[in-house]
Amino acid sequence: MTAVDAPTLLAEVEQRIAQLAAPTGPHPVQAAAARAAAGGKLLRPRLVMAAAGRSADRDAVVAVAAAIELLHAALLVHDDVIDGDEERRGEPSVAREARDLAAEAGLAPARAERLGLAAAIVTGDALLVRAIASLGSLDAPSALRSRVLGIVTRAMVRAAEGEHDDVLLAGATPDHAAIDRILEGKTADYSFRAPLELGAVLGGRDDAAIAALGDIGLRMGVVYQLRDDVLGVFGDEAITGKSTLSDIRAGAPTLLSALASRDPAWASVASHYGDPGADEGAAARVRHVMRGSGALDEVERRIADGGDEVRALLVAAPVEQSVRDELLQILARCVERGR
């Protein structure tokens, strides 16, 4: 595997994802699963590929990269249910599509709503099962396979905890330790740490290198999530494709909101943060306090510092220069990205 054929490899990963999610029957749940699996940015597969390096078994890398993206798709389907989000990747969410189809077919609103809930939960379940089962069918030595499954299980349990805490602490002003747990739990482990560890394991790296890449992944993931939190409130909707109202309406427990809430001016906007009916005017006032309190600057500083930290760790990491280069590129996109 060389860096040169990375696009080819990525195309293979996409093909494998489509295969794993392909309907085996005509049921609408299967069609929904196939749609939910398509169209991701393949960030996680890229991380697996980067950490695996050029000497890893190509088939194993494709299989694991595809599985990790499919897991991500499953979590997104469930996340949309939990957050009540109606759109995903510019399309209706699974729950909304099922609900709308049911309503068109004549079901009463409450029944159509329940069908949307059911459809999204079972579609996510079907994707989860297929993703993990594909890892279990990995054609690899038993010790390697168990290690892969162990990493994925840990990351998924962590993601479950992070998702729970994200809802539990919505609208609250969590302390620093809780913020760290959310940042690391919800995204950083399964989206960065686990993919880098998986790639490292597939690349046959030693335990020190696996641990180093895992640590780098966790820190990259935190930077990514901090950037995501900023874009969620201050981003350009035309570029991010996401509403800059939804985090405010949900009262997302972010570092941004936690820092801003320590400013006396927060009292004047606290009731908007976590108010499902918050409008653009309310959001503008929240943003004003987030800026004026210095919270935005502080988060930007932590993003920059976190990026520097990762760069320093990468330089010292026991991996090839090509791996460093690829991860630096991905890091740059995480830190500087506009979407």
Determine if 277 is a binding residue for a second copy (CB under 8 A): no
Alpha-carbon distance of 49 to 39, in angstroms, equals 18
Q: Choose the binding region for a second copy from 19-27, 44-52, 284-292, 300-308 (rule: CB under 8 A).
A: 19-27
List the one residue from 7, 104, 139, 281 that touches a second copy (CB under 8 A). Answer: 139
Determine if 60 is a binding residue for a second copy (CB under 8 A): no
Q: Choose the binding region for a second copy from 2-10, 128-136, 281-289, 301-309 (rule: CB under 8 A).
A: 128-136
Query: Between 46 and 99, whose beta carbon lies closer to a second copy?
Result: 99
Q: Choose the binding region for a second copy from 151-159, 253-261, 280-288, 308-316 (rule: CB under 8 A).
A: 151-159
Question: Could you give the string, one character per residue 206-235, with x where binding to a second copy holds by CB under 8 A and - elsewhere?
Answer: ------------------------------
Query: Between 154 and 311, whose beta carbon lies closer to a second copy?
Result: 154
Q: Choose the binding region for a second copy from 152-160, 203-211, 234-242, 252-260 (rule: CB under 8 A).
A: 152-160
**Window 78-107: residues binding a second copy (CB under 8 A):** 78, 81-82, 84, 102, 107
Taking the complex as a whole, how short is the minimal distance between the CB of residue 312 and a second copy, in angstroms? 29
3-state secondary structure the chain: CCHHHHHHHHHHHHHHHHHHHCCCCCCHHHHHHHHHHCCCCCHHHHHHHHHHCCCCCHHHHHHHHHHHHHHHHHHHHHHHHHHCCCEECCEECHHHHHHHHHHHCCCCHHHHHHHHHHHHHHHHHHHHHHHHHHHHCCCCCHHHHHHHHHHHHHHHHHHHHHHHHHHHCCCCCCCHHHHHHHHHHHHHHHHHHHHHHHHHHHCCCCHHHHHHHHHHHHHHHHHHHHHHHHHHHHCCHHHHCCCCCHHHHHCCCCHHHHHHCCCHHHHHCCCCCCCCCCCHHHHHHHHHHHHHCCHHHHHHHHHHHHHHHHHHHHHHCCCCHHHHHHHHHHHHHHHHCCC
Taking the complex as a whole, how short is the minimal distance between the CB of residue 204 and a second copy, in angstroms? 20
Q: Choose the binding region for a second copy from 153-161, 191-199, 216-224, 281-289 (rule: CB under 8 A).
A: 153-161
Determine if 2 is a binding residue for a second copy (CB under 8 A): no
Determine if 240 is a binding residue for a second copy (CB under 8 A): no
Distance from first CA to last CA of the chain, Å, rounded? 29
Q: Which residues pair with 336 in a beta bridge?
A: none
Determine if 129 is a binding residue for a second copy (CB under 8 A): yes
The residues binding a second copy (CB under 8 A) are 24-25, 27-30, 74-75, 78, 81-82, 84, 102, 107, 111, 114-115, 117-119, 121-126, 128-130, 132-133, 135-139, 142, 145-146, 149-150, 152-154, 156-157, 159-161, 163-164, 166-168, 170-171, 274
